[in-house]
Structure 1
């Protein structure tokens, strides 16, 4: 779960596992897998970084070498 801020300044918590897309135009819009859309104050980069941190916290995203691809076979 990640904490974000609506345009009216109210914080809310969203399940990062349900994020399908993040777009900026100029406000950041998050589309969930259930079709709901949220517009937030945070930039797309901030939402992305919080999502990655959440994935690491719950061990859904292992450590990858620089470049993001595991070349070991």
Structure 2
């Protein structure tokens, strides 16, 4: 779950696994896989950072190290 802010200023939690796409119209609009659209105050870049941080935290995005191959 990620925390976002609705246009009315109220925070809410969203299951990031349900996001299909994020667009800026200029308001940031999130389309879920169900087709439901949610408009938020957060920018697309901010949402991208929040999602990547959460997925890294729970292990869905690995942390890669440069390794020397033998």
Is the partner of 2:39 in helix, strand or coil? strand
Counterpart Cα distance in 1 of 2:52 and 2:18: 13
Equivalent residue number for residue 50 of structure 1: 50
What root-mean-square deviation, in Å, do the aligned CA atoms of Structure 1 and Structure 2 show?
1.7
Is the partner of 1:7 in helix, strand or coil? coil
Equivalent residue number for residue 13 of structure 1: 13
Is the partner of 2:20 in helix, strand or coil? strand
Per-residue deviation at 1:54? 0.9
In structure 2, stretches of 5+ residues that fail to align are: none
Equivalent residue number for residue 63 of structure 2: 63
Misfit runs of 4+, over 4 Å? none
**Structure 2 length normalisation: TM-score?**
0.87
Counterpart Cα distance in 1 of 2:29 and 2:60: 24
In structure 1, stretches of 5+ residues that fail to align are: 66-71
2:27 counterpart of 1:27: yes
